[in-house]
Structure 1
Amino acid sequence: MYSTNTILPRGWLGVDLLPEIDEKATIANVRKFFDKDFPRLQVMAHISYVDIKSPIITGMPSQQHYGNLVDDKLTAYANANALLDRVLDACRSMRHPHREFMEKRYFKNMSWLMINQSSGYSPRRCQQIINEAFLQFAEAFQDTEDFRVFK
């Protein structure tokens, strides 16, 4: 039996309860998502309803269509909105100033220079904060998409 003064060694049960994360690779995965996929997701979530045309039902033969374009557009729109909601939930779980940096960069489209100047932090500290934000996001978003890379 361990006394209350005993410090338990890492993995004292014979297993590591939390596997070690490869921070560099995880940061790269989240950065890629926000730089490449997130803008596309935002566009998909704002499909104009003007582009969605009602099907024409007549007794006359017409061009053969494969699939239902209206359903496909509505499904893509709904999926994009649901995924954006999950991204927002993951960002809401971040601590300050990490959440603020993510909001300014990826939701308000501010440049890194503007974020740096408005934050009062050094450029090095700004880089550390955004990297920490990416790691926090990876942990919070793991049930939707797991960007984490383990060592």
Structure 2
Amino acid sequence: MGLFPELDEDQTIKNVKYYFEHEFPRLKVRSHMNIASIQSPSFDTVGTSGTTRNTQEDKIMGQLWATDLVKATYKMVERMPDGPDNHYFKTIIKYCFLYGKGNTVALEQTGYESSRYFECKRMAMLYFADSFSDYYDMEVNVMKNENSGV
């Protein structure tokens, strides 16, 4: 057994795609929520159920959490290796997911042939999942079971 648990690469890549295609856009919108849109607290207790939950605080905390994740996403992408000797990881993630330009534009930016581009894209997504794991867990580990032989 190695230093790190074995990674289910296909599922981890699916998680990265899902994050960028579904969750990241929602986080960006939520992180820019206008603080002024949050209502003032009401102290009128007539007709209330008596909940002790502070929904205004929940909204602010949710906005701060979303802002942190958006900033961390950009920071992690910016720190990814890039260039001809480093597989253009940053270029691929930026054009495919941050700029929303898709594979065609990212492929043109890297100058790779199609098969090499998709190989590097897989590596870039795995690299992102690993570097982003302190903020958001996307990695899926393969469980080794002695009885199953896996």
TM-score by length of 1: 0.73
Aligned identity (percent) is 27
SS in 1 for 2:2: coil
Query: Which 5+ residue runs of structure 2 have no aligned equivalent?
Result: 83-87, 143-150
Matched, 1:149 2:134: no
Q: Describe how 1:43-122 pairs up with structure 2 within 5 A.
A: 43-55=29-41, 64=48, 67-96=53-82, 97-122=88-113
Question: What is the number of equivalent residue pairs in this alignment?
Answer: 135
Q: Cα deviations across residues 44-92 of structure 1 (Å, max 9, x unaligned)?
A: 11112342233356xx666638543432221111010112222233223
2:140 and 2:34 map into 1 onto residues whose CA distance is 37
Aligned twin of 1:20 = 6
Query: Which 5+ residue runs of structure 1 have no aligned equivalent?
Result: 1-14
2:94 and 2:38 map into 1 onto residues whose CA distance is 31
SS in 2 for 1:121: coil
**Structure-2 change in CA distance of 1:62 and 1:110 (3 Å):** farther
Report how far residue 133 of structure 1 moved.
1.0
TM-score by length of 2: 0.74
Report how far residue 127 of structure 1 moved.
1.7
CA root-mean-square deviation: 2.4
